[in-house]
Amino acid sequence: MRTSCYPLATLKETPADAEIVSHQLMMRAGLIRKLGSGLYTWMPTGLRVLNKVARIVREEMNKAGAIEILMPSVQPAELWQESNRWDEYGPHLLKMKDRHERDFCYGPTHEEVVTDLMRRELHSYKQLPLNVYQVQTKFRDEVRPRFGVMRAREFLMKDAYSFDLDEIGMQKAYDKMFQAYTNIFTRLGLKFRPVLADTGSIGGSYSHEFQVLADSGEDLIAYSDDSDYTANIELAEAQVPQGRRPTPGKVKELVDTPTQTSIADVAAFLKVEPKQCLKTLIVVGVGKECPLIALVLRGDHELNTVKAEKLPGVAIPLQLADAETIKRHIGCEPGFIGPLNLDGRGIPVIADRDAAHMADFVCGANENGKHLRHVNWQRDCAEPTRVADIRNVVVGDISPDGQGHLQLTRGIEVGHIFQLGDKYSKAMNATVLGESGQPVTLQMGCYGIGVSRIVGAAIEQNHDEYGIIWPDAMAPFDVALVPINLHRSDLVKKATEELYAELTAMGLDVLYDDRQERPGVMFADMELIGIPHRIVIGERSLAEGKFEYKNRHTGETKNVTKSEIKDLLQQ
RNA sequence: CGGAGUGUAGCUCAGUCUGGUAGAGCACUGCCUUCGGGAGGCAGGGGUCGAAGGUUCGAAUCCUUUCACUCCGACCA
Omega of the bond prior to A129 within 30 degrees of 0, cis? Answer: yes
Which class for A543: exposed (0-12), middle (13-18), buried (19 or more C-beta within 10 A)?
exposed
**Which nucleotide is closest, CA of A521 to its C1'?**
B38
Q: Decide: CB of A331 under 7 A of nucleic strand B.
A: no
CA A10 to C1' B10, in angstroms, rounded, equals: 12
Alpha helix ranges (H) inside A202-289:
263-270
Grouping H, G, I as helix, E, B as strand and the rest as coil, residue A542 is: helix
Q: Is there a contact between A1 and A511 (Cβ–Cβ < 8 Å)?
A: yes
> Which residues is A527 bridged to in the sheet?
none
Per-residue CB contacts under 7 A with strand B, chain A residues 175-234:
198, 200-202, 218
Q: How high is the pLDDT of residue A67?
A: 98
Tens of each residue's pLDDT in chain A, 571 residues: 999 999 999 998 888 888 899 999 999 999 999 988 899 999 999 999 999 999 999 999 999 999 999 999 999 999 999 998 888 887 889 988 888 999 999 999 999 999 999 999 999 999 999 999 999 999 999 888 889 999 999 999 999 999 999 999 999 999 999 999 999 999 999 999 999 988 776 666 689 999 999 988 889 999 999 999 999 998 999 999 988 999 998 899 999 998 888 888 889 899 999 999 999 998 888 876 678 889 999 999 999 988 888 888 888 778 888 777 888 888 888 889 999 988 888 889 999 999 999 999 999 999 888 999 999 999 999 999 999 999 999 999 999 999 999 999 999 999 999 999 999 999 999 999 999 999 999 999 999 999 999 999 999 999 999 999 999 999 999 999 999 999 899 999 999 999 999 999 999 999 999 999 999 999 999 999 999 999 999 999 999 999 999 999 999 999 999 999 999 998 7
CA distance A237 to A235: 6
Per-residue CB contacts under 7 A with strand B, chain A residues 455-474:
466
Q: How high is the pLDDT of residue A521?
A: 95
CA A15 to C1' B44, in angstroms, rounded, equals: 27
CA distance A9 to A28: 8
Q: Decide: CB of A4 under 7 A of nucleic strand B.
A: no
Q: Is there a contact between A60 and A184 (Cβ–Cβ < 8 Å)?
A: yes
Q: How high is the pLDDT of residue A331?
A: 85
Q: Decide: CB of A316 under 7 A of nucleic strand B.
A: yes
> Which residues is A493 bridged to in the sheet?
none
DSSP 8-state class, residue A322: P
Phi-psi group of A226: left, alpha or beta (phi > 0 → left; psi -120 to 50 → alpha; rest → beta): alpha
Q: How high is the pLDDT of residue A289?
A: 66
Per-residue CB contacts under 7 A with strand B, chain A residues 470-529:
484-485, 518-521, 523-525, 527-528
CA A204 to C1' B60, in angstroms, rounded, equals: 56
Q: Decide: CB of A38 under 7 A of nucleic strand B.
A: yes
Residues 6+ positions from A494 with CB-CB distance below 8 Å: none
Q: How high is the pLDDT of residue A330?
A: 87
Q: How high is the pLDDT of residue A321?
A: 82
CA A133 to C1' B65, in angstroms, rounded, equals: 49
Q: How high is the pLDDT of residue A309?
A: 86
Q: Decide: CB of A13 under 7 A of nucleic strand B.
A: yes
CA A79 to C1' B40, in angstroms, rounded, equals: 67
ipTM over 0.85 threshold: yes
**Which nucleotide is closest, CA of A37 to its C1'?**
B69
Q: How high is the pLDDT of residue A260?
A: 85
Q: Is there a contact between A530 and A29 (Cβ–Cβ < 8 Å)?
A: yes
CA distance A292 to A315: 9
Nucleotides of B under 7 A from a protein CB: 1, 11-13, 25-27, 34-39, 68-77
The CB density around residue A433, as the number of other CB atoms within 10 Å, is 14
> Could you tell me which of A570, A477, A461 has the C-alpha nearest to residue A532?
A477
CA dist A83 to A3, A90, A111, A203, A360, Å? 51, 13, 9, 11, 49
**Which nucleotide is closest, CA of A28 to its C1'?**
B11
